[in-house]
């Protein structure tokens, strides 16, 4: 296996809609940040718009580098990648920079790095590598789930300690779809259902009895987290505890009406009423200036991107690629759902950025890393051989069997494609019989000397 390769045949399976939708969203995010930055005076430093434009350079570089790497090689790198990300999370507690009461960043001089974003991708890769070895038909038992649960629990505990409960919950939600692909044994289903009922009852008890002080005394939650939950449930009664943020965000979204107030004309963020307009509440700025029409358009582009990510997961020919594409699509999906739900008052306020739209270098690089890996899996869902006939001489003893493979697995090229089996193979087939794509065309045109090595010819 070659670690790095760029075969022009891979471009035939490249998902251009996925890449273009990502770039469109990124351009929309830059336009949004330009409007937000224009309302703030930056003395002696670059604006959010300028810095985000600079962050785009390494983000696109990461995307390009990922496309060159055969994703199958990531199975060997899964554990080192995960452990390195975990160590960076630990380093935050010793060398981290505190911002707004939370220690989530490592200051690397030229920029600040947030390990909590990178660990999400590392977790998806290592879970996909681990679950690839499991048999879906056999079902997952407690023994099978022990290692994945520990893989999720370790970064969850470290991120929650920062404190960053929103990112910790996002981490769990990202990995959830990977398990839903498998069957579960009856005892696992019973215990998980029981735990869900107990947790739901406990949450209801805490709300109706207002006994949050129990969790505060145990150190399981922080005061600001309790305030956000209370503000979510009763925003008018807890305006000072966070309800004011939600109220201002909903005012901005509602004031946009159908077509919005116009570019750079949003009074909520221009007058400083909207908090964190460049990061957590970037969607509120977008809704205020572009209205319902602009918001739906952005969400439609997100839906288009996620649908193509799921298509890559479905069309992947191996379990590792399929699971990894599913996990990375889940990562982007939950970010969009949580952020938009937070801005519109459907969910409590948490520090989850909106992909491509919110300001943040680490978030932008991680998002393009995820998109690059999904594109990589789609490009390499077929196995190419430089000399398929020489590599598989036994095929000539089974010509009739292989010359008419199942049409369901064949995707013919355009009729005007020049036929040369070393450059333009006539069909793309799965891994199991990659050489069969040459035989169908050869039989129709007549076998030529340059197609069949002399030692295999009759």
State pLDDT tens for residues 164-182. 888 888 999 998 899 888 8
- Residue 101: which of 43, 165, 55, 175 has the closest Cα? 165
- Binning pLDDT at 50, 70 and 90, where does residue 458 land? very low
| 5-9, 72-76, 202-206, 276-280: the lowest-pLDDT one | 5-9
User: DSSP secondary structure string, 235-302?
Assistant: TTTTIIIIIHHHHHHHHHHHHTTTT-S-TT--HHHHTT-STTTTTTTHHHHHHHHHHHHHHHHHHHHH
CA distance 66 to 370: 9
Q: Is residue 338 scored above 70 in pLDDT? A: yes
- Residue 369: which of 12, 74, 6 has the closest Cα? 74
Report residue 184: phi and psi, to 5°. Answer: -115, 145
Q: Are 411 and 428 in contact (CB under 8 A)?
A: yes
Q: Is residue 153 scored above 80 in pLDDT? A: yes
The average pLDDT across 329-347 equals 91
Q: Alpha helices of 97-141 — where are they, by DSSP H? A: 115-132
| 18-27, 210-219, 248-257: the lowest-pLDDT one | 210-219
- Binning pLDDT at 50, 70 and 90, where does residue 55 land? very high
State pLDDT tens for residues 393-410. 444 344 444 444 443 333
CA distance 131 to 145: 10
Q: Are 336 and 354 in contact (CB under 8 A)?
A: yes
- Binning pLDDT at 50, 70 and 90, where does residue 85 land? very high
- Binning pLDDT at 50, 70 and 90, where does residue 9 land? low
pLDDT > 90 fraction of the chain, expressed in percent and rounded? 29
Instruction: Give the pLDDT of residue 46.
Output: 84
Q: Are 267 and 261 in contact (CB under 8 A)?
A: yes
CA distance 190 to 176: 17
Instruction: Give the pLDDT of residue 333.
Output: 95
Between 443 and 76, the higher pLDDT residue: 76
**Exposed, middle or buried, 26 (CB in 10 Å: 0-12/13-18/19+)?**
buried
Q: Is residue 446 scored above 90 in pLDDT? A: no
- In the chain, the N- to C-terminal Cα span, in Å, equals 32
- Binning pLDDT at 50, 70 and 90, where does residue 144 land? confident
Query: What does pTM read for this prediction?
Result: 0.78
Instruction: Give the pLDDT of residue 116.
Output: 87
- Binning pLDDT at 50, 70 and 90, where does residue 212 land? low
| Locus of tokens 């001089």 | 109
Instruction: Give the pLDDT of residue 8.
Output: 63
| Most confident listed range (8-17, 154-163, 250-259, 294-303) | 294-303
| 197-201, 301-305, 438-442: the lowest-pLDDT one | 438-442
Across the chain, mean pLDDT equals: 77
Instruction: Give the pLDDT of residue 112.
Output: 80
Instruction: Give the pLDDT of residue 217.
Output: 62
The average pLDDT across 323-329 equals 94
- Binning pLDDT at 50, 70 and 90, where does residue 247 land? confident
SS3 state at 427: coil
Between 256 and 303, the higher pLDDT residue: 303
Q: Is residue 31 scored above 80 in pLDDT? A: yes
- Residue 31: which of 232, 272, 297, 257 has the closest Cα? 297
Q: Let me know the angle formed at the C-alpha of 253 by 249 and 259, rounded to the nearest 5 degrees.
A: 160
State pLDDT tens for residues 350-395. 878 999 999 988 899 999 999 999 999 988 876 554 444 444 444 4
């Amino acid at each position: 296996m070659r670690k790095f390769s760029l075969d022009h045949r891979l471009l035939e399976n490249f998902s251009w809609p996925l890449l273009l939708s990502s770039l469109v969203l990124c351009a929309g995010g830059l336009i949004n940040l330009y409007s937000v930055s224009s309302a703030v005076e930056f003395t002696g430093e670059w604006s959010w718009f300028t810095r985000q434009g600079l962050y785009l350079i390494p983000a696109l570089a990461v995307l390009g580098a990922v496309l060159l790497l055969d994703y199958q090689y990531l199975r060997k790198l899964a554990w080192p990648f995960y452990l390195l990300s975990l160590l960076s999370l630990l380093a935050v507690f010793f060398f981290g920079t505190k911002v707004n009461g939370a220690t989530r960043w490592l200051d690397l001089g030229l920029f600040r790095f947030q390990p909590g974003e990178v660990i999400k991708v590392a977790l998806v890769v290592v879970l996909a590598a681990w679950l690839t070895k499991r048999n879906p038909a056999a079902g997952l038992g407690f023994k099978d789930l022990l290692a994945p649960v520990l893989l999720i629990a370790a970064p969850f505990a470290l991120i929650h300690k920062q404190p960053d409960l929103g990112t910790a919950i996002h981490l769990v939600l990202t990995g959830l779809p990977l398990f839903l692909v498998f069957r579960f044994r009856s005892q696992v289903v019973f215990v998980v259902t029981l735990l869900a009922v107990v947790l739901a009852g406990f949450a209801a008890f805490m709300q109706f009895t207002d006994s949050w002080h129990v969790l505060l005394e145990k150190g399981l939650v922080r005061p600001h987290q309790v305030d956000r939950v209370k503000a979510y449930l009763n925003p008018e009664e807890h305006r000072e505890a966070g309800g004011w943020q939600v109220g201002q965000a909903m005012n901005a979204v509602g004031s946009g009406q159908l077509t919005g107030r116009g570019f750079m004309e949003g009074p909520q963020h221009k007058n400083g009423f909207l908090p964190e307009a460049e990061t957590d509440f970037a969607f509120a700025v977008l809704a205020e200036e572009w209205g319902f029409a602009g918001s739906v358009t952005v969400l439609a582009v997100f839906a288009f991107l996620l649908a193509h990510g799921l298509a890559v997961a479905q069309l992947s020919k191996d379990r590792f690629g399929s699971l990894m594409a599913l996990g990375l699509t889940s990562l982007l999906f939950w970010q969009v759902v949580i952020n938009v739900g937070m801005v519109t008052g459907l969910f409590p306020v948490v520090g989850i950025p909106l992909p491509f739209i919110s300001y943040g270098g680490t978030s932008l690089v991680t998002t393009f890393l995820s998109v690059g890996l999904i594109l990589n899996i789609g490009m390499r869902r077929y196995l190419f051989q430089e000399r398929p006939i020489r590599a598989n001489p036994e095929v000539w003893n089974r010509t009739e069997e292989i010359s008419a493979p199942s049409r369901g697995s064949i995707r013919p090229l355009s009729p005007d494609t020049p036929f040369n089996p070393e450059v333009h193979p006539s069909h793309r087939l799965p891994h199991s019989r990659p050489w069969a794509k040459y035989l169908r065309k050869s039989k129709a045109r007549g076998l030529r000397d340059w197609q069949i090595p002399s030692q295999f010819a009759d």
